[in-house]
Amino acid sequence: MKIDVLTLFPAMFAGPLDESIVKRARQAGLLDLRIHNLREYAHDRHKTVDDRPFGGGPGMLLKPEPIFEAVESLAREQTRVILLSPAGRVFNQAIARELALIDELLLVSGHYEGFDERIREQLADDELSMGDFVLTNGALPAMVIIDAVTRLLPGALGDEESAHEESFSHGLLEYPQYTRPAEFRGMKVPEVLLSGHHAEIAKWRTEQSRRRTAERRPDLL
Ligand code: 21W
């Protein structure tokens, strides 16, 4: 899979994508990731990428020319062009699974007060948000999407990680887990987990998952 990212903050991408499973996927050739600086597609003397909104109002908008030029130079016919903005549909695991099936993504990170609407109309295939909170720009959301999608690429997870994954794909929150020691600062691990009764343990875990989900995320039930 190839993922291009268009951003005003390319330096933010050094680090998070050079660790762990994403690093391994890149080294293995499963993911070809390229970060592009939007400013390099601005051709005026001041490398202008934004301007004031017609009609007035606060903040600055990303202007069309640099983004059109960048997308036209980076995207092919089959590329899925995705804007990151708080006005997008909310990203989730189903969207991650859908994106993991696509050969080429181009993630366009927003900033300021948003995009000139013609960028949406003409260039974007989709627009994604991380949820109802305000960030300073779309760089972290782009990295979140890359992380969530990369681990779904065939071969990205080791055997152990994949097996672990399957045992958690029941749509409930995780049950409480413990490791040694069996007692720590007076806090004891639930007796059933030390009992060796596998059916009892499975029953306890399911019950705990349900209780926790009902309490914290009733929308999942
Ligand atoms: C924050 C851009 C607020 C635009 C009309 C006029 C990408 C993001 C972002 C940002 C506004 C994501 C307004 C969750 C996020 C992102 C920067 C809108 C108000 N509307 N997911 N003025 N949260 N954020 N400004 O902030 O680019 S995905």
State the Cα–Cα distance between residues 80 and 182, nearest whole angstrom: 50
* Residue 181, preceding peptide bond in cis (omega within 30° of 0): yes
* 3-state secondary structure (DSSP) of residue 58: coil
Give the pLDDT confidence score for residue 85 in this predicted structure.
97
Tokens representing 39 are 């400013």
Probe ligand 1: pick from 135, 137, 143, 145, max atoms within 8 Å of CB?
A: 135
Predicted confidence at residue 160, as pLDDT, reads: 86
In the prediction, which pLDDT does 170 show?
A: 79
**pLDDT score for 213:** 98
**Which residue's CA is minimally distant from atom 24 of ligand 1?**
137
Spell out the per-residue pLDDT of the chain, length 221, in tens: 999 999 999 999 999 999 999 999 999 999 999 999 999 999 999 999 999 999 999 999 999 999 999 999 999 999 999 999 999 999 999 999 999 999 999 999 988 789 999 999 999 999 999 999 999 999 999 999 999 999 999 999 988 888 776 665 679 999 999 999 999 999 999 999 999 999 999 999 999 999 999 999 999 99
**Residues in the ligand 1 pocket, defined by CB under 6 Å:** 84-86, 110, 113-114, 129-131, 133-138, 141
Greatest distance between any 2 Cα atoms in the chain: 73
Predicted pLDDT at 165: 67
Are the beta carbons of 189 and 183 closer than 8 angstroms? yes
